[in-house]
Amino acid sequence: MLSMTIDGETVDAHDTFDVVNPATGAVEAQAPECTPEQLDQAMTSAARAYQSWKRDDDARRQALRDLADAVDAHQKELTALLVQETGKPLAVAAGEVASSAPWIRYYAELEWPKRVIQDDDAARIEVAHRPMGVVAAITPWNGPVGMWTWKIAPALRGGNTVVLKPSPFTPLSTLLLGRIGAEVLPPGVINIVTGGDELGKAMTAHPTPRKVSFTGSIPAGRSVAVNAAHDLKRVTLELGGNDAAIVLDDADLENAAGTLFAFSMFNCGQICCIPKRIFVPANRYEEFVDAFGAAARSMVVGDPTDPVTAMGPLTTRPQFDRVSELVSDAVAGGARVVAGGKPIEGGGYFFEPTVFADVAEGVRIVDEEQFGPAIPLLKYDTVDEVVARANATDYGLSGSVWSADEEKAGAVAEQLECGTAWINCHAMLPSHAPFSGAKHSGLGVANGEDGLLSFTEQQVVHTARG
Ligand code: NAD
């Protein structure tokens, strides 16, 4: 069994919990259930390590380079665990693992931003950024390695130390990352603890961390904000989305349909910022529906370890049940099933790639985040109408506009109430681009220079002269 990492040591727990392989539905591993005492030890260790970690930025940069090399050296084992715990196809899991080290190196090489707002005979005023302390980091099950990377790299470069908890559905790759971190980092700089939602609550309410970095669902994000409020911890919340993709009537339909289909089914539809509602102009609707139907019917679904597989199972039983429920609800509500529409028999949490036409607001699969391989295609008549419909939601993570005319697409994109608006692409997430959610989709910013600054406290240094 893989162990937790606390103060650089491997730590087991008295109790364990089951880890299911979603491709078979069978329990294939156990993970340690962190006790309250062990959480205290992890927090104490992180607070101790912080005292020296915060002091030397050059040492941190070198440590991050070493961490990136160590992650690269373990790509194969990480990929195998990621496939086992998430059901991601091999190539998708390998891609997630391969992107971790470059992301860490980006933060190792990033120049620390400096802002001098006055420098004259009267005064010098500089806006500086200082480390915060211990960060409590909590990740979801849809991208365990990616989300570990998104939190660890800027938090450590910012001079902080971390206690991180992965989702109880997918703890294995993160437990291994804890061991990899311990190979190259001082004890206590990254601590990995595993357990359920209660452990997440204990982390956010714990007196030691100065910041909580959370990625997950909107209800859990609300609970994190409440628990962090009593001692005013800084909070970054990366939450759910219900992205609208708006295809304008001059778009290259073949390209738009092919790309939007691929993204809406990527990782079995379990990505926060992929298309979840696709709006198509009435005069091009049937053409688009046909293209989506054909793509869905030709998608290879099956064993994630088989290299020909394009889509594996849903990652968790609750998510499988939820997608099944939303699909049944859409059918009952009169949606036209263009492709798929049901679970795939034979063990595991497999679901057919599903496309709905003639469906609109008021049906749950349109109004809620489905987080699964079932995509509704919605018909619209005017641009004003489609913008209003895209924005008529509490979600505000991201969205996209598709057109042959960049300027025209830009004019629509700027009206979208969301943190990222893509034009002729979707879900593009380079390390240097800030990423944030508007409305209920989040609080604060991740990634890029802004993401680094979100792991710091601002300090104004004001020197009087003359
Ligand atoms: P979840 O909220 O159920 O769980 C996420 C993590 O939070 C898990 O580690 C869980 O144990 C922990 N947790 C649950 N309740 C908690 C609480 N009250 N206090 C503290 N921790 C708690 O989410 P999930 O089902 O694992 O992930 C799917 C969701 O994550 C989707 O809504 C998806 O859109 C969202 N997500 C968002 C982003 C983003 O960057 N915006 C990225 C990936 C996933």
Residues 276 and 212 in one domain: no
Tens digit of each residue's pLDDT (9 = 90 or more) over 206-227: 999 999 999 999 999 999 999 9
Nearest alpha carbon, ligand 1 atom 30 = 216
Residues 285 and 145 in one domain: no
Residues 203 and 309 in one domain: no
Query: Mean pLDDT across the stretch 442-456?
Result: 98
- Residue ranges making up the domain that contains 349: 243-430
**What total of structural domains would you count in the chain?**
2
Residue 399 neighbours by CB under 8 Å, 6+ apart? 243, 244, 245, 246, 390, 413, 416, 418, 420, 421, 422
Question: Closest ligand 1 atom to the C-alpha of 221?
Answer: 2
In 3-state terms, what secondary structure has residue 122?
Answer: coil
The response to whether residue 188 sits with its C-beta less than 6 Å from ligand 1 reads: no
Domain contains 257? yes
The response to whether residue 16 sits with its C-beta less than 6 Å from ligand 1 reads: no
Six-digit token string for 447: 């990634």
Best residue for ligand 1 mutational test, from 34, 88, 142 (most atoms within 8 Å of Cβ): 142
Residues 347 and 273 in one domain: yes
Closest CA to 305 of 295, 313, 296, 316: 313
The response to whether residue 437 sits with its C-beta less than 6 Å from ligand 1 reads: yes
Compute, in angstroms, the gap from residue 276 CA to the centroid of ligand 1.
Answer: 18
Residues 294 and 424 in one domain: yes
Would the pLDDT of 292 be above 90? yes
Question: Closest ligand 1 atom to the C-alpha of 223?
Answer: 18
What is the pLDDT, as a whole number, of residue 53? Answer: 98
Domain contains 410? yes
Residues 33, 238, 352, 369: which is the catalytic one? 238
Helix or strand run (H / E) with residue 84: helix 75-86
**396 close to 419: Cβ distance less than 8 angstroms:** yes
**Phi, psi at 411, each rounded to 5°:** -65, -30
Compute, in angstroms, the gap from residue 200 CA to the centroid of ligand 1.
Answer: 10
385 a catalytic residue:
no
Query: Mean pLDDT across the stretch 222-233?
Result: 97
Residue with tokens 């893989």: 2
Distance CA 155, CA 257 (A): 38
Task: CATH number of the domain at 250, please.
Answer: 3.40.309.10
The response to whether residue 429 sits with its C-beta less than 6 Å from ligand 1 reads: no
Residues 200 and 346 in one domain: no
Residue 296 neighbours by CB under 8 Å, 6+ apart? 261, 265, 338, 339, 340, 352, 353, 354, 355
**148 close to 177: Cβ distance less than 8 angstroms:** yes
In 3-state terms, what secondary structure has residue 378?
Answer: strand
Query: Mean pLDDT across the stretch 227-244?
Result: 98
Residue 237 neighbours by CB under 8 Å, 6+ apart? 214, 215, 221, 224, 225, 437, 442, 443, 444
Would the pLDDT of 466 be above 90? no
Would the pLDDT of 311 be above 90? yes
Compute, in angstroms, the gap from residue 369 CA to the centroid of ligand 1.
Answer: 13
Q: How far is CA 343 from the centre of its chain?
A: 25
Compute, in angstroms, the gap from residue 122 CA to the centroid of ligand 1.
Answer: 50
Other CB atoms closer than 10 Å to residue 161's CB: what's the count?
29
Residues 48 and 93 in one domain: yes
Task: CATH number of the domain at 112, please.
Answer: 3.40.605.10
Domain contains 435? no
**432 close to 150: Cβ distance less than 8 angstroms:** no
Tens digit of each residue's pLDDT (9 = 90 or more) over 323-346: 999 999 999 999 999 999 999 998
Nearest alpha carbon, ligand 1 atom 23 = 216
The response to whether residue 220 sits with its C-beta less than 6 Å from ligand 1 reads: yes
Closest CA to 314 of 299, 324, 327: 324
Closest CA to 177 of 210, 199, 151, 203: 151
**139 close to 164: Cβ distance less than 8 angstroms:** yes
What is the pLDDT of the chain when averaged over all its residues?
A: 98
Residues 310 and 270 in one domain: yes
Residues 157 and 9 in one domain: yes
Residue with tokens 């019917």: 297
What is the pLDDT, as a whole number, of residue 380? Answer: 98
Residue 44 neighbours by CB under 8 Å, 6+ apart? 208
The response to whether residue 451 sits with its C-beta less than 6 Å from ligand 1 reads: no
In 3-state terms, what secondary structure has residue 338?
Answer: strand
Distance CA 283, CA 373 (A): 26
Radius of gyration of the chain (CA): 23
Residues 459 and 410 in one domain: no
Q: How far is CA 179 from the centre of its chain?
A: 22
Domain contains 416? yes
Helix or strand run (H / E) with residue 117: strand 115-119
Tens digit of each residue's pLDDT (9 = 90 or more) over 160-198: 999 999 999 999 999 999 999 999 999 999 999 999 999
Residues 163 and 91 in one domain: yes
Domain contains 303? yes
Distance CA 1, CA 102 (A): 29
What is the pLDDT, as a whole number, of residue 114? Answer: 86
Question: What is the amino acid identity at position 287?
Answer: E
Residues 31 and 148 in one domain: yes
Tens digit of each residue's pLDDT (9 = 90 or more) over 111-156: 998 899 999 999 999 999 999 999 999 999 999 999 999 999 999 9
Best residue for ligand 1 mutational test, from 167, 326, 394 (most atoms within 8 Å of Cβ): 167
